[in-house]
Structure 1
Amino acid sequence: MDLEQFNQLDTAHAEAVLSPCVHIHSWIEHLVQHRPYSTRDALYQTAKIQAQTWQWSEIANALAQHPRIGEKKAASALSEKEQRFSAKEQGQLGADEDLQQALYQGNLDYESKFGHIFLIRAAGRTGAEMLAELQRRLNNSVVQEQQEVQQQLAEIALIRLEQEIQ
């Protein structure tokens, strides 16, 4: 969809376009309410700034919409578009069984420590890079990790927004 089409959508349809990007209603609502955007860059800058305002409770709820790295399904059902986003983003993992097992064990360790799934922007990263990040982030404090999760979720949302509105 191009920017002009997005600017002209009614509120419900505009929200539906943005919801596969990230399940944070305040972000979606803010972007929809501030239309029309004069340029794509204006939309992306608004989205980036708004992502910095996310509260941990919103982020925690959004995490349920993401599959674990190395898994195909999230804890809750994904829309067809979200499934395509996730499959494309995790396409670098490949079929290496040792890597899959290490990611699986790392996910379990991470969830045990932090109480939520490990989230990382998978786009542009290899499976080995994601595993290395997972292992590094296991050394974070809860506060440090919440900041990293927010940054990663924002990166994912912005990449998806760029793919949605061209």
Structure 2
Amino acid sequence: MTSTSTPPGLARFNALEERAALAVLLEVCASTAWAGRLLAARPYAAAEDLHAASDAAMAELTAADLDEAMAGHPPIGRPTAGDPVSAREQRGMAGASGELRAEMLELDLAYQEKFGHVFLICATGKTGEQMRDAVKERIGNAPEQEREIVRTELGMINRIRLARLLDTV
């Protein structure tokens, strides 16, 4: 714990009743193991402490925990209807041409067939072309290598979502 005064959003998060805190954490990441670890480490004095706890929890997730976390993410280019978070994160695909969308769908399906889960990338700030190029590059990975890349991408997504959470709680 590094800060002398807890930022307001973090103080509100720390003060949430356990069930409410768990619910907001599961909106950040669908892994119950990840959310449970962050919940158990409350209260946090600084956002950096929360991010460090997130990184540590992410590093400890089992293959099943990662599967659970990935299940909370829609395919690139097809955000869940009514989900502003995935739509915002995948904004780079919003203006994509029909050709790029079709190519991304084909690549998504090939990736899912090979790895058994959606292609996951921290899409914030990336263009549709950058996401397409990433899936083309990563589809050649070995499953173990790809799982660790997914772990890293999830960690980046969680950091962005936690920062946004602290601005809205």
Q: With structure 1 as the length reference, what TM-score do the two structures score?
A: 0.90
Q: CA deviation at 1:9?
A: 1.2
How far apart, in 2, do the equivalents of 1:17 and 1:110 lie? Answer: 30
Q: CA deviation at 1:92?
A: 1.1
* Counterpart selection for 1:54 from 50, 61, 64: 61
Q: CA deviation at 1:33?
A: 1.4
Give the equivalent residue in structure 1 for 2:87: 87
Question: What's the RMSD between the two structures over aligned residues?
Answer: 1.4
Amino acid at match of 1:119: L
Asked if 1:42 is matched to 2:49, the reply is yes
Is the 2:96–2:128 contact (alpha carbons within 8 Å) kept by the matching residues of 1? no
Q: CA deviation at 1:157?
A: 1.4
Is the 2:51–2:159 contact (alpha carbons within 8 Å) kept by the matching residues of 1? yes
Asked if 1:165 is matched to 2:166, the reply is yes
How far apart, in 2, do the equivalents of 1:71 and 1:160 lie? Answer: 19
Give the equivalent residue in structure 2 for 1:147: 148
How far apart, in 2, do the equivalents of 1:68 and 1:122 lie? Answer: 11
Partner SS for 1:15? helix
Which structure has more relative contact order (CA 8 Å, sep 6+)? It is 1
- Specify every segment of 5 or more residues in structure 1 that has no aligned partner in the other structure, as ranges: none
Amino acid at match of 2:79: K
How far apart, in 2, do the equivalents of 1:35 and 1:72 lie? Answer: 31
How far apart, in 2, do the equivalents of 1:61 and 1:36 lie? Answer: 25
- Specify every segment of 5 or more residues in structure 2 that has no aligned partner in the other structure, as ranges: 1-7
Q: CA deviation at 1:121?
A: 0.8
Q: Deviations over 1:62-85 (max 9, x none)?
A: 222211001133xxxx8x6xx111
Q: With structure 2 as the length reference, what TM-score do the two structures score?
A: 0.89
Amino acid at match of 1:56: A
Give the equivalent residue in structure 1 for 2:124: 123
How far apart, in 2, do the equivalents of 1:42 and 1:150 lie? Answer: 19
How far apart, in 2, do the equivalents of 1:26 and 1:111 lie? Answer: 24
Q: Deviations over 1:18-71 (max 9, x none)?
A: 111101111111111111111111111111121111111111122222110011
How far apart, in 2, do the equivalents of 1:64 and 1:50 lie? Answer: 18
Amino acid at match of 1:144: Q
Is the 2:58–2:155 contact (alpha carbons within 8 Å) kept by the matching residues of 1? yes
Partner SS for 1:165? helix
The structure 1 segments of at least 4 consecutive aligned residues displaced by more than 6 Å after TM superposition are none
Amino acid at match of 1:42: D
How far apart, in 2, do the equivalents of 1:87 and 1:163 lie? Answer: 15
Partner SS for 2:66? helix
Asked if 1:72 is matched to 2:79, the reply is yes
Give the equivalent residue in structure 2 for 1:137: 138
